[in-house]
Structure 1
Amino acid sequence: MKNRLLLASLLGIFFLSSCAVIRQGEVGVKSRFGKLSDTSLDAGLVGFNPFTTRVIKVPIRTVNQEIRLPLPSKEGLTIESEISILYSIEKNKVPFILEDIGENYERVLILNVFRSAAADITAQYMAKDMHSGMRSEIEKEIQERMHESLRQRGFVVERVLMKSINLPTELSRAIERKLKAEQEAQQMEYILERERKEAERRKIEAEGTREAQKILAEGLVREIIELRSIEAFRELANSPNTKIIITDGKTPYLINSQK
């Protein structure tokens, strides 16, 4: 009985050790006596002889590799950075990658290509550019440079993201001062433009008032003045108060009034 249990246990261990589970987002490649298979294995349960063969699993989903790297700038400064590389592997190229580069393809190839591309690109830009709106342009250029080197070998570089850029303290302060000065200049320009528009509005308003007064003055001819005098005499005549009026017959002048 004990022998049967021992035999069953050994068979169970052998069975488990001769199976491999390939998960979704992975492919497997069998290596028999060190020789790689030309085809890859899809997700699922895979059987193999553990004494002669092993299954190498390689992810084909998008991989996020984060790297801390000092980058050179155009003016010769060293910029500490944290950058993410998003890449994936073409399924049909997995056996070739394992045979040509090995299982440490990320360290051997991808990271070295990235360091070279990143240094070449950032050396063409000023340090302040990495901290401004040009960051996306730098990311794109690094991605394109890596794509040129890696695509033929089965790697797809999807994105390069500069997550953080740490400028030297003095440079960072200088950039902040410059940005503050630019904001103040923009604010002053806005105030000046507003004052110019207000002055123009007042000028137009004054010109309109002057033009109205000119038209009114031109309209005060002798006949209109006499008509206004007659209307004034009529209003005085209708008033019940006692009045003393001195007039030349044209314009009235009231010198006294009492009830």
Structure 2
Amino acid sequence: MKKQLAMIAAFLLITSCAVIRPGEAGIKQRLGKLDDKVTTQGTIVFNPFTTRVIKESIQTNNLKLALRIPSKEGLSVDSEISILYRLEVDMVPTVLKNIGPNYKDVMSAVFRSASSDVCSQFFAKDMHSGKRADIEKAIKAKMEETLTPQGIIIEAVLMKSIQLPQGLSLSIEQKLQAEQDAMRMEFILQRERLEADRKIIEATGTRDAQIILAQGLTPEILKIRSIEAFIELSKSANSKVIITDGRTPYLINEAKN
């Protein structure tokens, strides 16, 4: 019994256990040499005297950077960048062997180079406009050329904050204000043009109505209207003096009985 207990104690003394949680990758390093086997979840039993377990995150991580990037016109633009990345599970040993545990420093250096190459092809104002997405995609593609073969997957490059030089920022604001003023004036002019068109249409309609009415007043119609007028006058109890040529009645005087 004592012998068995001694063996168990000896086994526990020379072994240890590491727990690999979800989102982690564990790799044994025995006498300085990395094992190619990757454990993504569970436990790893190892000899603490000759071996250690290295854990790396295989989840999507966010590397934040703040730096100045050049523009096409030679200006320096202050920016805050987020690089979303993750390690390829099967290539975690490759990352540790070829780059080392400080691979984030390598990513930062690659980003600085890629951003300089890409942003130097765009004007500073482009970084503050709809072209920002194009810049982000171009930087991402540039980084992937170097990092993807090494086992680092770049999921996105996000330019969260762009601080333009003060003079340029003021010029852009003035330009935007001028564009808004021009749009407002165009709206006013369009409204006035519509109102003028409405008046023209109204005047044209009135003129056409008068022309149609005048064309419809033939001598026969005028004679009928004259007879109707005489009939209406005859119904009145008041005495009237009427001068007429027999076609059109003219009321000259009206006297009460």
Q: How does 1:215-254 map to 2 (within 5 A)?
A: 215-254=212-251
Which runs of structure 1 show a deviation greater than 4 angstroms over 4 or more consecutive aligned residues? none
- Maintained 8 Å contact 2:24/2:56: yes
**Equivalent residue in structure 2 for 1:159, among 151, 156, 159:** 156
What is the match of residue 3 of structure 2?
A: none
* Counterparts of residues 143-158 of structure 1 (less than 5 Å): 143-158=140-155
Conservation of the 8 A alpha-carbon contact between 2:25 and 2:40:
yes
1:185 counterpart = 2:182: yes
Secondary structure, counterpart of 1:209 in structure 2: helix
The CA deviation at 1:197 is: 2.1
Q: Which amino acid aligns with 2:174?
A: R
Give me the whole-angstrom Cα distance separating, in 2, the residues matched to 1:87 and 1:257: 104
Alignment-derived partner of residue 54 in structure 1: 52
- Structure 2 equivalent of residue 75 of structure 1: 73
Q: Is the aligned partner of 1:255 residue 2:246?
A: no
Q: State the identity %.
A: 57
Question: How far is the alpha carbon of 1:14 from its aligned partner?
Answer: 5.0
Aligned to 2:124: 127
Q: Decide which of 192, 197, 208 is 2:194's aligned counterpart.
A: 197
SS in 1 for 2:126: helix
Deviation at 1:149, TM superposition (A): 1.8
Is 1:214 equivalent to 2:207 in the alignment? no
Partners of 1:220 and 1:95 lie apart in 2 by 105
1:112 has 2:112 as partner: no
Instruction: Report the counterpart of residue 88 of structure 2 in structure 1.
Output: 90
Q: How many Å apart are 1:254 and its aligned residue?
A: 1.8
Offset of residue 233 of structure 1 = 0.3
Write the deviation string for residues 190-216 of structure 1: whole angstroms up to 9, x where unpaired: 211222222222222222221111111
Supply the AA of the counterpart residue of 1:251. Answer: T
After superposition, the C-alpha distances for 1:39-67 in whole angstroms (9 at most, x for unaligned) are 11122222211111111111111011110
Normalising by structure 2, report the TM-score. 0.91
Give the 3-state SS of the residue equivalent to 2:224 in structure 1: helix
Give 1:116 shift. Answer: 0.7
AA matched with 2:215? E
Secondary structure of 1:170's counterpart equals: helix
Root mean square deviation of aligned Cα: 1.9
Normalised TM-score (structure 1)? 0.91
Q: Distance in 1 between matches of 2:40 and 2:135?
A: 37
**Secondary structure, counterpart of 2:44 in structure 1:** strand
SS in 1 for 2:252: strand
Q: Which amino acid letter does the alignment assign opposite residue 28 of structure 2?
A: K
Figure out how many residues of one structure are paired with residues of the other and give that number.
Answer: 249
Letter in 2 for 1:74: K
| Rounded Cα–Cα distance in structure 1 between residues aligned with 2:13 and 2:202 | 100
2:98 paired residue among 83, 97, 100: 100
Contact conserved, 2:23 with 2:40, CA < 8 A, in 1? no
